Amino acid sequence: MIDYNSFTLNNGLQVIVHEDDSSPMAVVNVLYNVGAKDEQEDHTGFAHLFEHLMFGGSVNIPDFDEPLQMAGGENNAYTTNDLTNYYESVPTQNLETALWLESDRMLSLAFDKKSLEVQRKVVCEEFKENYINKPYGDVWKLIREQAYKVHPYKWMTIGKELKHIEDATLQEVKDFFHKYYIPSNAYLVVAGNVKTEEVKVLVEKWFGEIPGRSLPERNIPQEPAQTEARRLTVERNVPANAFFKSWHMGGRLDPQFYTIDLITDILGGGPSSRLYQTLVKEKELFSQISCFHTGSVDAGLVTVEGRLAEGISFEEAEKAVQEQMDIFCKNGIDPNELTKVINKTESMMAFEDLSLMSRASNLAYYALLGDTDLINKEFGMYQQVTADAIQAISNQLFQESNSNTIWYCATKN
C-alpha cells in the first residue's frame, strides 16, 4: 500500500506527496503530458530534443545542474512517445533547491541559441550511437512504420530522421515550450522524509506564481483496425537473421490490458516461458526469443522478437512460432500457469516499490492516466484475470489479419 496526499494549485498544477521517513533522500518528479506523439510528422524528435534543452538553464537560473549538485543532488530525465519525465533526488534537507530549479524551468527556459546548437549535435550523436551504429538499431523504426499508418506512434521518440533534429529552429523550440510546458499539463510528485503541509508551503512558494495557461486540445488520430496482414523483408549487415511479429492491442487503460500483460509473460517472459522453452531449448530454432508489449497510453503493440539459430530458414522459424501461438489460442492455460504469472507480477511489483524514485515516477504516471489510486489497485486487477479471459483475448489478439511480420535478413557475404 503506497500512501499519498494530493492537491491542485490555482494554476492547474497537480501535486502528489508521498511520505516515507525511511529514506535520507527526497525525490522530486515532474511529469509533463507531452511526448513524441504530440509532434508533427515533418518535425519529429522535438519532445526528446527538448528534454536535453531543459538542462540548458532557465529564465532566472543560468545552469540547472550546478546548484543541484552543490546541494548534493542528482537528476535525469527521459522521454517516451507519450510523456516526458524529469526527476531529482537530493538530501531531504535540500528539497527546496530541487523545487526552485524545477519551478523555474516550468516558468520559462533561457532559450539559448548556443545551447540549442550543441544539444542538437549531442542528440544526433545519441541517434548514431543507438540507432545507426548498432546492429539491429533500426528495427523499431521499421516496426513502428509498418504497424502504424496514422497514429504518431509511427516514429521513434528520438525522431524519424536526423534531419528533423538538425533543422530545428529556436522559434520552433519556443513554440513547443509555450504550448506544452505549462502547469496544468504537469504532475509534480514529492516523495521521501517530508510532511505534506511543509511541502504544500514550498510548492505554493515556487510553483504557485507560474501563470496558468490553457492547453491546446490534443487531436491525435487513432489507428484504425488493421484488416490485412502486413509483411516486410529487409537485408542488413548483421551476422544473424532476426524475426519480428507484432499485433495491435488496446491502450494502457483498456480493460484488457492486464490480461494481455499476463499473456506476453506466459508466452515470452523469461526462460521458463513457452516460446523460449520450446523454440530455443527444445527445437533449437532460435538463439533467443521473447514476447512483450509496448505498454503505451494509446493503442499499443504485442511483439514477438527472436533471433534465428544458424542455418534455420525464416519459413521454418515462422511456422514454429505460429504453431506455438495456435496451441496457446486453442488450448489456453492451466491453473498452475495462471498462478505462476500472478506470482511473478506480485514479486515484480514488490521489487519495483523498493525504490523511492520508482514509487515517485509511478505515482506521477498513474496521475497522468487519470487515476493515481491505480498504484494500489493494479495488483487486484491482475488477480482477477481468469484463464478463460486469457484464451478469449488471445484468440482476438493474435489474428493473422492483425499482424505485422518482419524478416530481418543478414547479408550473405
Partner 1 sequence: MINRTIAPKYYDATSFELNLKPYELAYLDNNTPVYSINAGAEEVTSIEFVFYAGNWFEKEHLVAATTNFLLKNGTSTKSAFEINELFEFYGAYLSRSCYNETASISLHCLSKHVQILLPIVAELIQDSIFPDKELEIYQKNNLQKLNVNLLKCDFVANRKIDEMLYGFEHPYGTYTRKEDLESLGKVQLETFYQTYYINGNCKIFAAGKLPSDFLSILNNHFGKMTLKNEVNPLDKTAHPIIRDIEKKAEILNDPNNVQGAIRIARPFPNRHHPDFQKVNVLNTIYGGYFGSRLMSNIREEKGYTYGIGSYLQNHVQESAWMISTEAKREACPMVLEEIWKEAKLLQENLVDEEELSLVKNYMIGSILSSLDGPFSIISRWKGYILNGMDEETFQRNISIVKSITSEELLELANKYLKEEDFYQLTVI
Q: How many helices and strands, by DSSP H and E, does the chain display?
A: 15, 11
As given in the structure block, the three cell numbers for residue 148 are 502504424
Closest C-alpha among 394, 153, 154, 406 to residue 304: 406
Write each residue from 356 to 375 as x if it is in contact with partner 1 (CB under 8 A), else as -, in one continuous string: x-------------------
Residue 145 C-beta: closest distance to partner 1, Å: 21
Write each residue from 228 to 267 as x if it is in contact with partner 1 (CB under 8 A), else as -, in one continuous string: ---------xxxx---------------------------
- The answer to whether 74 contacts partner 1 (rule: CB under 8 A) is yes
For partner 1, which residue of 81, 345, 361, 394 counts as binding (CB under 8 A)? 345
Write each residue from 122 to 161 as x if it is in contact with partner 1 (CB under 8 A), else as -, in one continuous string: xxxxx-xx--xxxxx-------------------------
Angle between helices 335-352 and 257-268 (to 10 degrees): 100
For partner 1, which residue of 11, 80, 118, 251 counts as binding (CB under 8 A)? 118
Q: Which segment (3-11, 120-128, 145-153, 382-390) binds partner 1 by CB under 8 A? A: 120-128
Binding footprint of partner 1, residue count (CB under 8 A): 79
Map the footprint of partner 1 across residues 296-315, applying CB under 8 A: 307, 309-310
Q: Are 10 and 209 in contact (CB under 8 A)?
A: no
- The answer to whether 70 contacts partner 1 (rule: CB under 8 A) is yes
First to last CA, the chain: 57
Q: Are 91 and 72 in contact (CB under 8 A)?
A: yes
- The answer to whether 73 contacts partner 1 (rule: CB under 8 A) is yes
How would you classify the pairing of strands 230-236 and 242-248? unpaired
Sign of CA dihedral 248, 252, 254, 257: positive
**Is 302 exposed, middle or buried (CB count within 10 Å of its CB: 0-12, 13-18, 19+)?**
buried
As given in the structure block, the three cell numbers for residue 313 are 530458414
- The answer to whether 193 contacts partner 1 (rule: CB under 8 A) is no
Q: Which segment (28-36, 87-95, 142-150, 384-392) binds partner 1 by CB under 8 A? A: 87-95
86 bridge partner residues: 30, 77
Distance CA(4)–CA(26), nearest Å, equals 14
Q: Which segment (118-126, 193-201, 321-329, 374-382) binds partner 1 by CB under 8 A? A: 118-126
Residue 83 C-beta: closest distance to partner 1, Å: 21
- The answer to whether 113 contacts partner 1 (rule: CB under 8 A) is no
| Residue closer to partner 1, measured from CB, 80 or 277 | 277
Distance CA(144)–CA(323), nearest Å, equals 25
